[in-house]
Amino acid sequence: MVSKKSGAGLAAALGAAVLLGGAGAGAAHAAPAEGGAALAKTDVNQALGGTTTGLGYAVAPVKDLRLDPWANSSADVLNNGATVQPENSGLGPIGTDLLTGPLSAGGGPRDLPLVGGVLGTLPG
């Protein structure tokens, strides 16, 4: 046996579908406006300014992103540097501390020797 409530709900849903379907079909067959649509001229300076501003907001967090999650902790593997003293060449010691030092101190890409200069040219 079907309850009266479910029958009434079904009838209401069917009636709403017929009404909405009829309104949508009439709107779909409407004639297009005369003259057509035209796009506005683009101001290149404003477009580039907006792009540069948006790019600055997107790039700034990446510049300061902490690359070494264990920086300043006892588990930091980058805290151990290796240094080599070349023999009979007159050169000073060469070590990895130049690259790993800024990272083990908690720095990001902006603090790296060569990458930091390149990132300085980006906005943000």
Tens of pLDDT along 22-78?
A: 555 555 555 556 667 788 888 888 888 888 888 888 888 888 888 888 888 888 888
According to the model, what pLDDT value does residue 71 have?
86
Question: How many whole angstroms separate alpha carbon 50 and alpha carbon 44?
Answer: 10
Question: How many whole angstroms separate alpha carbon 33 and alpha carbon 73?
Answer: 68
Question: How many whole angstroms separate alpha carbon 7 and alpha carbon 9?
Answer: 5
Question: How many whole angstroms separate alpha carbon 103 and alpha carbon 67?
Answer: 7
Burial of 101 (0-12, 13-18, 19+ CB in 10 A): middle
**pTM of the entire structure?**
0.45
81-110 tens-digit pLDDT: 788 888 887 888 888 888 888 888 888 888
- DSSP designation for 77: G
